[in-house]
Amino acid sequence: MMGVWSSFRLGIVIPGGDRLYTPWIKGNHAMIGIHFFAAGALGAASLAGPAGMGTNTCHLTWDKQCCPVPGCATSIAPGVLTICNGKDVGAEYNWTLTDISGMGLSFMPSSGFTGLNPGECIDLPFTVICPPNFPLGSVADYEARVTKVSTGETISCFGNVRNMSDFKIDPPVPVVPVAVPADISVPAPRTEVRLSVSNIGSSGKDGVSLYVVPMGQFAVDPPVLPLPPIAAGASISDCRYEVFFDISLLRGAPPQQTMGDVLYMLDTTGDGVADTVIGSQTVRGVPQAAPCPGDLNGDGVVDTADLGILLGAFGTLCP
C-alpha cells in the first residue's frame, strides 16, 4: 500500500476512543485516521483545524503527547496557536486557551495579544500542563478563542493532548511550511520532513510501521514507513517523508491561507492496520508568487537585463 495518500470523504467510529475518524482514500484502499470530533459534538462548533472569520483564521496543533509513560506525574506538551490575518488592513487580536475536557488542563501562557499586518500569520508557542496521574490512554481537548479587537468577532479552533505509552515521536519543527503553487498546472513543490521515533517502553519492538496521514489540502509520500526493530530505550532518528499541497482538491484558484496537519499513527502489531495515534505535525501552505514570463534572469523584475538576454540569444538555433 505504498504511494501517495490524500483526500478524505467518509467517516466511521472505531473502537478505542471517543473519536470519529475519517479515512483518507488511495485508489481502492481506505485508511482510518483523520479528522475527528469530540464524542457527542458532531455538527457542533468543535470542528478541529482551521476556523474562519471572514478571511481571519486560527489553528491549533492537532494532537500532542503529554504523558509518555504510565503512572507519570504532572507533565507537559508543546503546542502552537497560529493566527492569520487574511484581510487587506492590519488588525489586533486577543486570544485565550481553555480546557474543555474537564480533566484539569492548564496552559502557559493561557492568553495574549498580537497585532498582524495584512496577509500576515504568526505562530504562538505555548505549553499544555497535564494533570497529575493523567489516565493512560486518555485524550483531553482544549479550545483557543481568538477575538478581533476592533469588532469583537470571535473564532475558535481546537486541539488535544493524549497520554501514550511505549512510543514517542519528535517532529523537527512546530510548523512545516509547504509551497502552494500559483500555477496549478505544474506539480506542487515537495517539502521533506525528518522525524525521530523513540521506544520508551520496557521491551524491544519489531514489525512496527509508522503511518503518515495528511489532514487538509495536503498529501504525503510515502504514507507508510516500515520501522526497523527498536530496542527498549532506543530511537530511530531518520524517518523521512515528503508533504506537498494537493492541487487535485482545488475548486478554483489556490487559497491564500491554508492550514492542516499530518497525523502520526503506528501499526504496532504488524497486521497492516494503524492502531495507535502518537502525535501530529502542523502544516501551513505558503502561497508562491505568480510566474513572471518576461523575467528571464529570475530577479523578479522585467527590465533591460532581460532584454539583453533576449537579444543575446536572438537568432540562436535551438537543438
- The pLDDT score that the predictor gives to residue 128 is 93
| pTM reported for the whole predicted model | 0.71
**What CATH number should be reported for the domain holding residue 161?**
2.60.40.3880
Assigned domain for 75 exists: yes
As a whole number of angstroms, the distance between CA 12 and CA 21 comes to 6
CA atoms within 13 A on the CB side of 267: 20
Of the candidate ranges 38-52, 171-185, 212-226, 254-268, the one whose mean pLDDT is the lowest: 38-52
Assigned domain for 183 exists: no
Mean pLDDT, range 19-32, rounded to an integer? 32
Which grid coordinates are listed for 79?
503546542
How far out from the chain centre does Cα 176 lie? 8
Assigned domain for 122 exists: yes
pLDDT (tens digit, 9 = 90+) per residue, 181-216? 877 777 888 999 999 998 888 899 999 999 999 988
Assigned domain for 83 exists: yes
> Facing residues of 52 across strands?
57
- The pLDDT score that the predictor gives to residue 106 is 94
Assigned domain for 135 exists: yes
Assigned domain for 58 exists: yes
Assigned domain for 119 exists: yes
As a whole number of angstroms, the distance between CA 180 and CA 218 comes to 10
Count of structural domains within the chain: 1
Mean pLDDT, range 131-160, rounded to an integer? 89
Which grid coordinates are listed for 29?
484502499
Expressed as residue numbers, the domain containing 67 is 48-165
The answer to whether 46 touches 59, Cβ cutoff 8 Å, is: no
Of the candidate ranges 20-29, 112-121, 176-185, 196-205, the one whose mean pLDDT is the lowest: 20-29
- H helices of the chain, in order, are 304-313
Give the position of cell 489553528. Answer: 59
Assigned domain for 137 exists: yes
